[in-house]
Structure formats: C-alpha cells, structure tokens
C-alpha cells in the first residue's frame, strides 16, 4: 500500500532555549563564514534532465562538470520562483507537501504543484512561461502532493504544431492530463479533451483514496502508470492495477491486474453501483517506475496489499506485494518478480524507483537493477531475470502473530550490501539528551516487544525499527556510472504500533482523547478484526528514543557490494527542541543526484538546506539555506555552452513531517 507518511516535528518547543544552552555546554559547535568570491565558469558539457530520475532508468546521474569539488563552495541563489500553491492546513489538519522534481527539456523547466498546477519556467531565469490548473477538488484529500510530470515528443507531428511536444501530469482525483509543452493547452486528441479518467473500472473510492502522485513512465509509444491507494482504510480498497496508454490518443493498450498467477478477475458491479474491472485490495505501485527500452521491460516497485498490518484475509492477493516486478512493455505480462518481504504486515513497501546500471561481471557487463526498500535493504539484481547478483539469505523470523494471522517463517536478507539500517534496539540503546528523557525512552522500549524488523504485530504493542517511514523511501538512489558507486540516503527512526480489537476501537480512541494521548494516526482497517494506531517512538521531549544518526547518506561499491562511506545527513538546526545545529543526522525524505565531476547534491533532511558532498569521501563541501523544507530530489542542468550549470530544488516542506511549508523553486549557480 502507499506509505507517503512522515515524521512529525518533535514536541517540547518551550524547552528550546534551555536545551540549547545545555547542549552548547556539552558540544562545541561553530559555523564557518565563507568569503564571497567570483568563481570562473569553466567550459564543459551541456545536459538536460528530461525524466524525473534524470533518465528513464532512474540513475539521477548528470555528465556535467562546471560545478566541481573545488568551486562548489561559491554556489549562490540565482533565482527563486513561487508557485502560489501552499496550504498550511486543510479540514483534515494537513497541508501541502512540495515533493516535486522538475524536468528540463530544451530551455524550459516543467513541474507540478501539490494541488496539480502544471507550470513551465524559463530554465535560466525562473520566469514563468505558462500555468495550467487541473482544478482538483481536494476536499477530504489527505495527501496533497505531485512529485513530477513527464515529457514526450511525437515523432509524427510537425515541429511547432499543437501538442507535437507534450507534458503529462497525473492528478489527485485520478486523471491523466496531456498538455502542449509550448503553451500549456490541453491536447484535444488525447482521451476526452486532453485527459483520461483513471478511476474507470476501479469502483468506489473515498476522496483522495485513489490518486496519481508520481509521474508516469514514458517508454516507446506508451505511457505507463500505477496509482497511490491510501493505507489501512479497508480490505476492499481500490485495486492496484498498472495500465499502459497510447501517448497520442490515450487509448488503453494493456492493464496488469496484480493477481497471483492463474487467477483472473471477472468484471462486476460493487455495492455503490460502480463498475469494477480490476480486483480490489491488491498491491499498488504508488512510486516511480523505470524502463529498459532495449529489453522492452518496465520495472514496477510495489507497495503493500490492503490493509498493511493484518493479512489473514488477503487470500493470496499479496503475491506481488513489496516486490520489484518486471513487466513486458508490449503486453504488460510479468516477466519476473522478486519479493523483498513475504506476506508483508509491517508496511515495508518497495517505495523507491528502481535504478538501472551495468554490473561488472567476469565475462563482461551484466544488465542490473538496484532496488532499495524501507527496511534499509538494497537488492542488486540481474535485470533480465531478477536473479540476485550477491547471495540473499532466507532467515528465520518470529511467527507468533495475532489469532488468525499466518506469518511467513523466513524473510530475505541481502548479504551484500548489508542492511543500511540497524536491526537491534534494546533499552540499553535508548537515547536522550538528559538522564530523565533517556529514562523515559528506556521505560517505553521495555514495555514494547521488539525482536528485529519482523516482530509480529500484536494488541500489546510492538516497535517498528525500521519504521514505516524507512529506511529508504521514495527519494530513491543515484548511480555514479564512472566510479561504480550507488549513493542513497536512509532514515533511522523507531515507531510504536498497536493493533486494536475492532469492538474496542472507538472506546480506545475516546479514552486516549480524554487523556490527551491521541497519536497522529488512527487507522480503521475496515473489514478485519483489528484497527490499529501508530506513532513514532519519542521521549516526553519529543526526541527520538533510537540512537543517532537518525539520517545517513551512504555510498556503496556496485562491483563488490561493500559500503564505501557513511555520513550523518542533516543537523538539528530546525528540529525542536534543539536550538543549535548538531550534526547528528536527521530523518529525511527526498533523494540524491550525482555529477560526473564528483558531487552529490541532496536536500531531504529536516533542516532547510541543500547540500553538496564529495562522492569519493562523503565530505560535506557546501550547504545552501532554503526558504522552506527541501523534501524533494534536486536536478541539475546546463542548457548551452555559454550558460551556467544550475542546481534546482523544490522547497515547500512535507506536511506529515512538519517541516517548514512553502512554495519555492530555488535555483543555485556560480556567481557572474
């Protein structure tokens, strides 16, 4: 299932000044002041960024070299654009999340705002060229976000004609819209007046329960898309069908209903009178797809089968859950699949875009794919057949779940790379900045069950570590082709979860509200014997009980699977109740990019910065302040030989993380 959830800002802001003074006495902290300087704009290659992940294989790699480790310290803000689409809080108490990565085609940036405004900008000045508003009704919608748009040039169209070049945007109300890239006008021959209704055949859905939040894959002459389905709402949630449409007229070419092999769904009518063509309650693909044009394959990362934390009624519908599935581009039929979690009842989705690369085999390059998961696992697979390139061990895990649940006896663990997330948490590991809040964390850990990441869900309560936040998440990875490195970021927060017997659900919520103990997520899991609740494991100060770093950036050698380096990602500067920026590493959402010159750019962390790191050592070389939370993946481009290399990031925050909200697109470049 979709897990587009985040970490709330820490509580206890009233103690901010006192704790800051305490920490200053314990740890020396300083900020180096840089002298302004004029940097030389070196010649070098030019490059665009035509896909969400840089290329259709999701490598987030740029061949650009104008910015390098020697001059990156001189980066400064070149321009800022404001979308005007920001909401602090809706009727559900949630605001917008600006998780967008623009794409660059020619000299134009294309992006989408959280409530589905498609926008075109001059890539060198940030000047607005056009805006198209999809006019989505967001009443009752929980997740307000749009991660990106996609581009296609029609080879049969005359240059300059209407919709010869197109921008595609999925919407929160389950439409796919095609726009003329030059003007932002809908393409009349695509679907009905420029759009297709993706809710057709899905059946009944609540507001915001079924939406397209990630950009579609453009491969060959097809547009391929999945959809987000809200977590833990009900057993018969909308199905997770993946569909392919013709790019010119929007006709349906094929659909993959993720049913177990040999099972077919017969079209019917649901209780609301709506047509249902696809099995309800199946796993969905809410994240970003990748493609291999040479092999005609679409790589689909899948989420969980409804609902997340009780699976006794799935009846085999989780056959493709928490997996990477390779589909035939021609037919939509599965070619192979690799499951990262068996019978997932922990919300350990495969949330990230698969990243394609060539593995240096003994007889020559092996076409490969890297897949990260919420567990902090990275699986390196042969992308032609799904076979692991390094051994994967099936290890025994606890099986004593709640009545009616049948847990899988083993779970897959990659041996190389080893897990990027700790699998141990005891009361002795409890963290705190004072003896009192450390004692509070010890007490909480001792009261909950934890036997590793696959601790069985229970009514008594258990610790999720990794949490449903990750580990890895939708920010995915970057592949440095020349150096053979994989760069990725992880979060390391623990969560506390509890199943609630159905008959006690309302009573439990009422009692918690009366005590002022309402957690951020009460989830019904309708149709099962259990509702559930989840929160993050924090002390009374609102600080994590798990030890830091709470966020890391790592480099993996793709040839050996070994860890090259690991550094904390982010500081506590914007994390209450801290008042200073301790380099402890903080939870993060968004991903890295890498350049040929040896730079890694990433925002993501809960402090409001874009950072540059040395790809070989992990040393932080530069950071630039953002006007809001940078929970998005940046991009970089250079449109011509006389132009600057820009690094651009969306800075608008993440509603569920509680980071600074905003609507800014910020471009950095070297000074004139």
pLDDT in tens, 41-63: 667 899 999 999 999 999 999 99
Q: How far apart are CA 429 and CA 494, in angstroms?
A: 12
Cα 516 to chain centroid, rounded = 31
The whole-number pLDDT of residue 40 equals 57
pLDDT number for residue 511: 86
DSSP tag of 359: E
- Residue 135 CB partners (closer than 8 Å, separation 6+): none
- Residues 318-330 have a mean pLDDT of 98
Cα(288)–Cα(586) distance, rounded to whole angstroms? Answer: 24
DSSP string, 252-272: EEEEE--PPTT-----EE-TT
Burial class (CB in 10 A: 0-12, 13-18, 19+), 406: exposed
Is the predicted pLDDT of residue 300 greater than 90, yes or no?
Answer: yes
- Contact indicator for 417, 391 with CB cutoff of 8 Å: no
Cα–Cα dist 653/308, whole Å:
26
Taking the alpha carbons at both ends of the chain, their separation in whole angstroms is 48
| Strands of 290-391, DSSP E | 290-292, 297-301, 323-328, 334-339, 355-361, 364-372, 378-382
Q: What is the pLDDT of residues 600-630, one digit of tens each?
A: 999 999 999 999 999 999 999 999 999 999 9
What average pLDDT does range 70-83 have in this prediction?
98
Which pLDDT belongs to residue 12? 36
Tell me the β-bridge partners of 487. Answer: 478, 555
pLDDT at res. 520: 66
Say if residues 468 and 494 touch (Cβ distance below 8 Å).
no
pLDDT tier at 580, thresholds 50, 70, 90: confident
Residue 657 has pLDDT above 80, yes or no: yes
Average pLDDT of every residue of the chain: 92
User: Would you say residue 671 has pLDDT above 60?
Assistant: yes
Average pLDDT estimate for 282-303 = 98
- Domain coordinates in residue numbering, the chain: 13-26+39-669
Mean pLDDT of 542-569: 97
Sign of dihedral through CA atoms 93, 664, 301, 217? Answer: positive
Distance CA 595, CA 284 (A): 32
Both tokens of 282, joined, read 């199946």
Q: How far apart are CA 119 and CA 149, in angstroms?
A: 10
b/e code 43-54 from CB counts within 10 Å (16+ = b): ebeebbbbbbbb
Mean pLDDT of 465-493: 97
**13-26+39-669 in CATH: which number?**
2.140.10.10
- Residues 121-132: what's their mean pLDDT? 98
| Pairing label, strands 593-595, 61-62 | parallel
Please tell me the predicted confidence (pLDDT) of residue 39: 53
Cα(546)–Cα(233) distance, integer angstroms: 29
Q: Which of the pair, 271 or 113, is modelled with greater confidence?
A: 113
pLDDT for 271: 86
What are 184-229's pLDDT values in tens digits?
Answer: 999 999 999 999 999 999 999 999 999 999 999 999 999 999 999 9
DSSP H helices in 545-661: none
**pLDDT, greater one: 519 or 267:** 267
Q: Which pLDDT band holds residue 17 (cuts at 50, 70, 90)?
A: very low
478: nearest Cα among 624, 612, 354? 354
**Mean pLDDT value of segment 320-329:** 98
Query: How far is C-alpha 507 from the chain's CA centre?
Result: 35
Residue-level pLDDT at 38: 52
Residue with tokens 């699977």: 561
In Å, what is the CA distance from 643 to each residue of 74, 469, 619, 669?
17, 39, 28, 10
pLDDT of 3 over the 50 cut? no
CA dihedral 375, 377, 378, 382 (to 10 degrees): -100
Q: Which residue has the tokens 């409001």?
A: 608
**Rounded CA gap, 363 and 456, in Å?**
44
Q: Is 347 a catalytic residue?
A: yes
Max CA pair span of the chain: 71
Helix (H) or strand (E) holding 663: none
Asked whether the CA dihedral 607, 612, 615, 620 is positive or negative, the reply is negative
Band of the pLDDT at 30, cuts 50, 70, 90? very low
pLDDT at residue number 578: 77
Q: Other C-beta atoms within 10 Å of 540: how many?
A: 14
pLDDT at 662: 97
Q: How far is CA 199 from CA 176, 177, 228, 526, in A?
A: 10, 13, 12, 21
Note the pLDDT tens digit of each residue in 378-397.
999 999 999 999 999 999 99
- The predicted model gives 268-287 an average pLDDT of 94
pLDDT tens digits, residue range 140-187?
999 999 999 999 999 999 999 999 999 999 999 999 999 999 999 999
Q: Tell me the percentage of the chain whose pLDDT exceeds 90.
A: 87
Rounded to 5 degrees, what angle do the CA atoms 268, 269, 270 make? Answer: 120
Confidence of residue 579 (pLDDT cuts 50, 70, 90): confident
Which entry of 55, 257, 308, 347 is annotated as an active-site residue?
Answer: 347
CA pair distance 591, 575, nearest whole angstrom: 20
């Amino acid at each position: 299932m979709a897990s587009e959830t985040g970490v709330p800002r820490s509580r206890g802001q009233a103690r901010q000044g006192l704790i800051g003074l305490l920490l200053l006495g314990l740890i020396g902290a300083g900020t180096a002041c840089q002298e302004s300087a004029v940097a030389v704009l070196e010649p070098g290659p030019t490059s665009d960024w035509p896909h969400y992940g840089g290329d259709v294989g999701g490598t987030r790699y740029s061949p650009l070299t104008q910015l390098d480790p020697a001059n990156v310290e001189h980066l400064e803000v070149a321009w800022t654009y404001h979308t005007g689409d920001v909401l602090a809080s809706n009727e559900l108490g949630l605001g917008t999340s600006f998780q967008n990565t623009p794409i660059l085609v020619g000299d134009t940036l294309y992006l989408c705002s959280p409530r589905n405004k498609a926008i075109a900008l001059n890539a060198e000045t940030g000047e607005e060229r056009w805006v198209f508003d999809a006019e989505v009704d967001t009443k009752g919608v929980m997740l307000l976000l749009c991660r990106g748009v996609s581009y296609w040039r029609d080879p049969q169209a005359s240059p300059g004609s209407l919709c010869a070049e197109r921008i595609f945007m999925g919407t929160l109300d389950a439409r796919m819209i095609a726009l003329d890239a030059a003007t932002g006008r809908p393409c009349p021959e695509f679907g009905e007046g420029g759009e297709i209704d993706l809710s057709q055949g899905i059946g009944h859905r609540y507001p915001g329960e079924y939406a397209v939040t990630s950009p579609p894959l453009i491969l060959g002459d097809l547009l391929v898309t999945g959809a987000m389905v809200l977590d833990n709402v009900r057993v018969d949630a909308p199905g997770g069908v993946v569909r392919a449409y013709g790019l010119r007229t929007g006709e349906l070419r094929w659909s993959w209903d993720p049913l177990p092999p040999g099972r077919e769904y017969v079209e019917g009518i649901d209780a609301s009178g709506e047509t249902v063509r696809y099995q309800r309650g199946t796993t969905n693909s809410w994240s970003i797809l990748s493609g291999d044009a040479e092999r005609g394959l679409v790589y689909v990362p899948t989420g969980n089968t409804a609902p997340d934390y009780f699976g006794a009624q799935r009846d085999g519908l989780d056959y493709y859950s928490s997996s990477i599935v390779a589909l035939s581009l021609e037919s939509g039929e599965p070619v192979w699949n690799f499951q990262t979690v068996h019978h997932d009842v922990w919300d350990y989705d495969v949330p990230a875009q698969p990243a394609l690369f060539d593995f240096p085999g003994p007889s020559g390059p092996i076409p490969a794919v890297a897949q990260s998961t919420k567990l902090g696992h990275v699986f390196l697979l042969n992308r032609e057949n799904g076979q692991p390139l390094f051994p994967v061990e099936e290890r025994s895990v606890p099986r004593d779940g709640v009545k009616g649940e049948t847990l899988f006896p083993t779970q897959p663990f990659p041996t190389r790379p080893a897990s990027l997330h700790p699998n141990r948490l005891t009361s002795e590991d409890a963290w705190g900045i004072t003896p009192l809040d450390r004692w509070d964390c010890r007490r909480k850990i001792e009261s909950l069950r934890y036997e590793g990441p696959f601790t069985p869900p229970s009514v008594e309560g258990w610790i999720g570590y990794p949490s449903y936040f990750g580990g890895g998440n939708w920010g995915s990875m970057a592949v440095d082709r020349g150096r053979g490195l994989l760069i990725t970021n992880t979060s390391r927060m623990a969560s506390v979860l509890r199943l609630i017997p159905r008959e006690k659900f309302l009573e439990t919520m009422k009692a918690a509200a009366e005590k002022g103990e309402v957690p951020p997520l009460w989830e019904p899991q309708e149709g099962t014997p259990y509702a559930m609740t989840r929160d993050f494991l924090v002390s009374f100060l609102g600080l994590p009980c798990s030890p830091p770093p709470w966020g890391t950036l790592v480099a993996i050698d793709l040839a050996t699977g070994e860890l090259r380096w690991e550094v904390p990602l982010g500081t506590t500067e914007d994390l209450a109740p801290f008042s200073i920026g301790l380099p402890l590493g903080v939870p993060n959402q968004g991903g890295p990019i890498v350049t040929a010159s040896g730079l890694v750019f990433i925002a993501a962390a809960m402090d409001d910065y874009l950072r540059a790191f040395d790809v070989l050592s992990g040393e932080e070389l530069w950071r630039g302040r953002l006007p809001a939370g940078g929970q998005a993946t940046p991009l970089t481009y250079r449109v011509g030989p006389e132009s600057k290399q820009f690094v651009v990031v969306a800075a608008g925050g993440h509603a569920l993380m509680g980071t600074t909200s905003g609507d800014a697109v910020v471009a950095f470049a070297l000074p004139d």
